[in-house]
Structure 1
Amino acid sequence: MTQPVSPAQRQQQQDGQVAATATSPTGQPGRRRLGLRPDVRNLSLLGVLAVLVAVGGFTKPEQFLDSSNLQLVLTQASVIGVVTVGMTFVITSGGIDLSVGAIVALASVWATTLATQEYGFAGILFTAVVVGLACGLVNGMLIAYGGLVPFIATLAMLASARGLALQITDGKTQIVTVDSVLDLGIPDSYVLGIPPLVLVFAVVTVVGWLLLNRTTFGRRTVAVGGNAEAARLAGIDVRRQRLYLYLLSGLCCGIAAFLLVVLSGSGQNTNGNLYELDAIAAAIIGGTLLSGGRGTIVGSVLGVLVFTTITNIFALNNLQSDVQQIAKGAIIVAAVLVQRRTARDGET
């Protein structure tokens, strides 16, 4: 006579099966099989960031090393950084989200309409988050239950969200008049010299790291990205997991939209332009595997700081934006080549 299995024991068995899907045929964890060294990778990114700081300090010492400029760099990194945290989860699961920039734009303009601003701070924040979640829900339903590939579904959302944002604004800039929102962007609201937007980014980063590395949700995300069929056989509801991931990405876009409204004091249909490329690039150079199965929040954050610092240095030195884009492209290609080389060396 078999003994009944408690819910806790069933969960432990399922977690063990999830962990098994991420192991190599030799029984070693997938990370070890690929020969990956997250600590070395993050230290390398810190080294790149240190070099960039040195370059900025050498070329424009008074401007770059000024505390207000460093605060600006961190504040600008906060907006795209929150988006990148959500993108990291999606890519780790083997998906992609090309609509994050458009969702940020739609959420920001919807949250700054005159009707929304009548409800003050809470109305703007609530609207931005709800719009982000709604777009993430549509993406998740189309991908998880509609059978559309992530590229097509999120590309359609990109076009639709941009079009709706343009329709709402009629091509005009919507100025924020709610003082409690605008006050978050002034130095008087800084906490120990740290802008509130940076604190929000820090909280999102910590929560994202805990969620990916210390919860069953994170293990399931990695398992789905590593081998979706094996994850399904292990008892994971793959479709539901993917739905949750795109909801998470939409939530991050909603939070980022609110931060952008605070930073710019307005809502525009052009907000979030190319955020999808910046978020994907930051996640990739941080060590998140583009094909899925491995993700790192710390690496993604360092990638965001690298790109934001590059942008700041180029702006201070009055260099053309096309050169900046070329530099970013070269970094992305180098990061992907390193990933492929590391994976190939780990398999031999």
Structure 2
Amino acid sequence: DLSVGAIVALSSVWATTVATQEYGFAGILLTAVLVGVGCGLVNGLLVAYGGVVPFIATLAMLASARGLALQITDGRTQIVSVDGVLGLGERDAYVLGVPPLVLVFAVVTVIGWLILNRTTFGRRTVAVGGNAEAARLAGIDVRRQRLYLYLLSGLCCGIAAFLLIILSGSGQNTNGNLYELDAIAAAIIGGTLLSGGRGTITGSVLGVLIFTTITNIFALNNLQSDVQQIAKGAIIVAAVLVQRRTASTT
């Protein structure tokens, strides 16, 4: 899904418009989530039922969502004025010294692990990723499964957008820039096969932590942003090559 960063941007700016903020905390949260799910629905319908290649469908969503986010903001930063949202980013909102954003991340991770490892939905997901035709012959509705997965992706984008709103106190059309690169890198580093059929939530979380640590090291060493992106691209290629080598020896 190449559109995750753009969906985050669109969700964040749509949720921070003046009209939306009039509905307070609930309005911002629901708008962010609904916009994310709506974008996921469009992606899912195009891929699962429209027969569009995922790369093309999500690339089109990337361009469209970024353009719409820019149109909504007119290039300006939308400041959040809802105290209930801003308060979640303050130290007073910490639970036993843990920021609410970290708690949300932990909850989403646990739910994702349970869904993938303890439900029929999770087993069907792995089956479709490994061999879609075999899954179809086994009685799995492959198209519906793919649609659900894009809906989940959009839901997570909406949640991420809300967390960014809390963190920055604003909505910007530049939010989520290159998040698709970070997401792909974290998944691959965590052991998810690009060809499908293998991947774990735990591995993906470790991939996020490793990739974030690498990014922080780059920042601490004052590397230019363009050099950082080149290095990230090299890391992705290296991880894929390691995967292929490992797969060929097993």
TM-score bucket of the superposed structures, by smaller chain:
over 0.9
Distance in 1, matches of 2:231 and 2:202, equals 22
Residues in 1 aligned to 2:173 and 2:209: alpha-carbon distance in whole angstroms:
25
Instruction: Check 1:347–1:231 CA distance in 2 against 1; reply closer, same or farther (3 A cut).
Output: farther
* Cα shift at 1:242: 0.4
Partner of 1:132: 36
Q: Contact 1:189 / 1:195 at 8 angstroms: preserved in 2?
A: yes
> Where does the alignment leave 5 or more consecutive residues of structure 2 unmatched?
none
* Cα drift, residue 268 of structure 1: 0.6
Structure 1 residue 141 displacement after superposition:
0.5
Task: Judge conservation of contact 1:310–1:324 (CA < 8 Å) in 2.
Answer: no
Could you state the TM-score of these two structures normalised by the residue count of structure 1? 0.70
Out of 234, 247, 264, the position equivalent to 2:151 is 247
Cα drift, residue 136 of structure 1? 0.3
1:233-282: CA deviation from partner (whole Å, max 9, x where unpaired): 00000000000000000000000000000011100111110001110110
1:110 aligns with 2:23: no
Deviation for aligned residue 1:226? 0.8
In the TM superposition, what is the alpha-carbon distance from 1:323 to its structure 2 partner?
3.2
Q: Which has the higher contact order (CA 8 A, sep 6+)?
A: 1
Q: CA RMSD in A?
A: 1.2
Write out per-residue CA displacement over residues 289-338 of structure 1, whole angstroms, 9 at most, x where no aligned residue.
00111111111111111121222222233232233223322322221111
| 1:139/1:154 contact within 8 Å kept | yes
Task: Determine the C-alpha separation between the residues in 2 that align with 1:282 and 1:106.
Answer: 22
Structure 1 unaligned blocks of 5 or more:
1-96
1:184 is paired with a residue whose SS is helix
Deviations for 1:44-63, whole angstroms, at most 9, x for unmatched residues?
xxxxxxxxxxxxxxxxxxxx
Q: What SS does the aligned partner of 1:295 have? A: coil
| Mean CA deviation greater in 323-332 or 98-107 | 323-332
Q: For residues 135 and 38 of structure 2, what CA distance do their matches in structure 1 show?
A: 27
How far does the alpha carbon of each residue in 1:182-214 deviate from its partner, in whole angstroms, 9 at most, with x for none? Answer: 111111111111110000000000111111111
Deviation for aligned residue 1:133: 0.4
Structure 2 length normalisation: TM-score?
0.97
Measure how far apart 1:153 and its partner are: 0.6
Which residue does the alignment assign to 1:329? 233
Tell which structure's C-alpha radius of gyration is larger: 1
- The answer (yes or no) to whether the contact 1:287–1:299 under 8 Å persists in 2 is yes
In structure 2, the partner of 1:340 is 244
